[in-house]
């Protein structure tokens, strides 16, 4: 065997040689030797739960590639819709393939009127748009009953197109409702990202023309957020997908996972942190407090990246372009100072904590006028493409249902005690 490890069970002296494949070993081989012995790995930090051909990530080297293409090249030369096609199909589209894809997505941007009237407008006036999105995506499964035919290729493709197309419409609708503005229907003469901006910001003008620099910047942010291999929400998508639930229910689960401040909610947390810091003078004491264990530097650190997040580098450039149109976000100087201090500090150096994608994305969204509550929603729009690429891959691989083991730490067996005999 070229590369392998040998494990020996010292209880009975049995040994097993297991091949190393793609840097890992198969747990099923281990299990043959050690039946009933489970690998304790909370947070799955050392467990590969799937084989995937979608995204390559080297956290030490700061490399991110979708289907082999470097993120830097895609951010420079591609569009979000083209990247979504790439993630889902494995190859960049030809001109004809792209035209068909773009047209199909465009034709599916409208949502059923009852999704808006019965679901979105049924929320409380101050509902968080991400909570609305999670629920609305789940509700879509009740409108498309054919979504249950997950092994019918035609049905599967249709749901994928519907989800990618309707996500911006639902996202904008959630925002409009939360600020008491009327719903804006999609303008299908506009490209994907400009159409979303029109649904967000249009007031009384016959046609909303987004600033091309801002529309392109948002498209770049969509590219950067489209996939990130086995992150928390993608894992949620895969786990629910492994039970063969319909793709809307799977996506709702993924959206819910994205909602949390450790994942898609981090860029919102960054803005709140920068606002709390308030001035350049307060930056050193804030960093000191973090080092003493009072909270975390939001937008810093990553489970996989142990060097500069390549997406953060691209975002920094995008920020300059956006600020040239919108004016500089006043929190930018605090962010730059924070980064400068943290990158020189032993605490952050020794733990290999660098700015991640969320450190600067929130500043851009805020400068573009998006309220903080919309930040995770803006993440969900492009990540839908990644979630669906993984969902498709999982179904094609005919994987087992996700069902991890546990190490039981509860009480020993005991007999039921009638209520009048229990100690108070
Ligand atoms: N500020 C201060 N200390 C930190 C931070 C931070 N942002 N992140 C990690 N640490 C410390 C942590 O206290 C621990 O120190 P010690 O070894 O002394 O106990 C050490 O670094 C390792 O931390 P960990 O919690 O074991 O690392 P993890 O891989 O489980 O967590 C993380 C990764 C992203 C949840 C974490 O770095 C974090 O909470 N960052 C802030 C939130 C954030 O920016 N999240 C966005 C992630 S990128 C976008 C996305 O994927 O959604």
Give tens-digit pLDDT for 229-239.
999 999 999 99
Tell me if residue 300 falls in helix, strand or coil: strand
Per the rule left: phi > 0, alpha: psi between -120 and 50, beta: everything else, 43 is left
Bridge partners, 406 (sequence order): none
Options 263, 320, 396, 415, the catalytic residue: 263
Three-class HEC string of the chain: CCCEEEEEECCCCEEEEEECECCECCHHHHHHHCCCCCCCCHHHCCCCCCCCCCEEEECCCCEEEECCEEHHHHHHHCCHHHHHHHHHHCCCCCHHHHHHHHHHHHHCCCCCHHHHHHHHHHCCCCCCHHHHHHHHHHHHCCCCHHHHCCCCHHHHHHHHHHHHHHHHHHHHHHHHHHCCCCCCCCCCCCCHHHHHHHHHHCCCCCCCCCCHHHHHHHHHHHHHHCCCCCCHHHHHHHHHHCCCCCHHHHHHHHHHHHCCCCCCCHHHHHHHHHHHHCCHHHHHHHHHHHHCCCCCCCCECCCCCCCCCHHHHHHHHHHHHHHHHHCCCCCHHHHHHHHHHHHHCHHHHHCCCCECHHHHHHHHHHHCCCCHHHHHHHHHHHHHHHHHHHHHHHHHCCCCCCCCCCCCCCCCCCCCCCHHHCCC
* pLDDT, mean over the chain: 93
Nearest Cα residue to atom 34 of ligand 1: 302
Q: What is the pLDDT of residue 291?
A: 95
Give tens-digit pLDDT for 322-342.
999 999 888 999 999 999 999
Measured from the CB, is residue 405 less than 6 Å from ligand 1? no
Known active-site residue 302: yes
Give tens-digit pLDDT for 389-400.
999 999 999 899
Is residue 101 over pLDDT 80? yes
Spatial separation of the C-alpha atoms in residues 133 and 130, rounded to whole Å: 5
Q: How many angstroms does the Cα of residue 334 sit away from the middle of ligand 1?
A: 20
- Mean pLDDT lowest among 167-171, 228-232, 310-314: 310-314
Which atom in ligand 1 lies closest to the alpha carbon of residue 299?
A: 44
pLDDT confidence bin for 163, thresholds 50/70/90? very high
Question: In what helix (H) or strand (E) does residue 7 lie, and over which residues does it extend?
Answer: strand 4-9
Give tens-digit pLDDT for 205-234.
999 999 999 999 999 999 999 999 999 999
- Mean pLDDT lowest among 122-131, 138-147, 303-312, 410-419: 303-312
Spatial separation of the C-alpha atoms in residues 85 and 11, rounded to whole Å: 52
Nearest Cα residue to atom 3 of ligand 1: 296
Neighbours of 159 (CB within 10 A): 23
Ligand 1 pocket test: pick from 254, 274, 301 the residue with the most ligand atoms within 8 Å of its Cβ: 301
Measured from the CB, is residue 55 less than 6 Å from ligand 1? no
- Mean pLDDT lowest among 63-72, 209-218, 238-247, 303-312: 303-312
Cβ atoms 318, 364 nearer than 8 A:
yes
Is residue 132 over pLDDT 80? yes
Known active-site residue 358: yes
Give tens-digit pLDDT for 347-375.
999 999 999 888 889 999 999 999 999 99
Nearest Cα residue to atom 31 of ligand 1: 303
Provide the CA 77 distance to its chain's centre, in angstroms. Answer: 22
Measured from the CB, is residue 267 less than 6 Å from ligand 1? no
Is residue 38 over pLDDT 60? yes
Q: How many angstroms does the Cα of residue 252 sit away from the middle of ligand 1?
A: 25
Known active-site residue 112: no
Q: Which residues of 135-149 are buried (b: 16+ CB within 10 A; e: fewer)?
A: bbbbbbbeebeebbe
């Amino acid at each position: 065997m070229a590369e392998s490890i040998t494990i020996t069970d010292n209880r009975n002296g049995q040994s097993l040689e297991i091949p190393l494949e793609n840097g890992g070993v198969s747990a099923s081989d281990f299990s043959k030797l050690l039946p009933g012995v489970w690998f304790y790995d909370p947070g799955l930090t050392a467990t590969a739960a799937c084989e995937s051909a979608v995204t390559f990530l080297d956290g030490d080297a700061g490399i991110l590639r979708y289907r082999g293409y470097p993120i830097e090249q895609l951010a420079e030369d591609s569009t979000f819709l083209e990247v979504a096609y790439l993630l889902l199909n494995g190859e960049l589209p030809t001109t004809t393939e792209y035209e068909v894809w773009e047209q199909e997505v465009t034709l599916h941007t409208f949502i059923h009127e009852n999704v808006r009237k019965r679901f979105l407008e049924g929320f409380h006036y101050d509902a968080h748009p991400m909570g609305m999105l999670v629920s609305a995506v789940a509700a879509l499964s009740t409108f498309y009953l054919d979504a249950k035919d997950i092994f019918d290729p035609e049905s599967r493709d249709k749901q994928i197109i519907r989800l990618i197309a309707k996500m911006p419409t639902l996202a904008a609708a959630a925002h409009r409702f939360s600020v008491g503005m009327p719903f804006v229907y999609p303008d299908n003469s506009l490209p994907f990202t400009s159409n979303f901006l029109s649904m967000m910001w249009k007031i009384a003008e016959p046609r909303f023309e987004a600033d091309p620099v801002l529309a392109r910047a948002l498209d770049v942010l969509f590219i950067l957020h489209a996939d990130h291999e086995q992150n928390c929400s993608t894992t949620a998508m895969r786990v629910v997908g492994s039970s063969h639930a319909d793709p809307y229910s799977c996506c709702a689960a993924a959206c819910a996972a994205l909602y949390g401040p450790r994942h898609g909610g981090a860029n919102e947390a960054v803005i709140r942190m920068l606002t709390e810091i308030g001035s350049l003078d307060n930056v050193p004491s804030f960093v000191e407090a973090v080092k003493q264990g009072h909270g975390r530097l939001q937008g810093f650190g990553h489970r996989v990246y142990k060097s500069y997040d390549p997406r953060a580098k691209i975002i920094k450039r995008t920020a300059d372009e956006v600020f040239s149109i919108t004016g500089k976000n006043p929190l930018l100087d605090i962010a730059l100072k924070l980064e400068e201090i943290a990158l020189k500090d032993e605490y952050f150096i020794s733990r290999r904590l660098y700015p991640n994608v969320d450190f600067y994305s929130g500043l851009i969204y805020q400068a573009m006028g998006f309220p903080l509550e919309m930040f995770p929603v803006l993440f969900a729009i492009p990540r839908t493409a990644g979630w669906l690429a993984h969902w498709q891959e999982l179904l094609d691989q005919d994987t087992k249902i996700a069902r991890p083991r546990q190490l039981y730490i509860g009480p020993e067996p005991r007999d039921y005690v009638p209520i009048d005999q229990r100690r108070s």
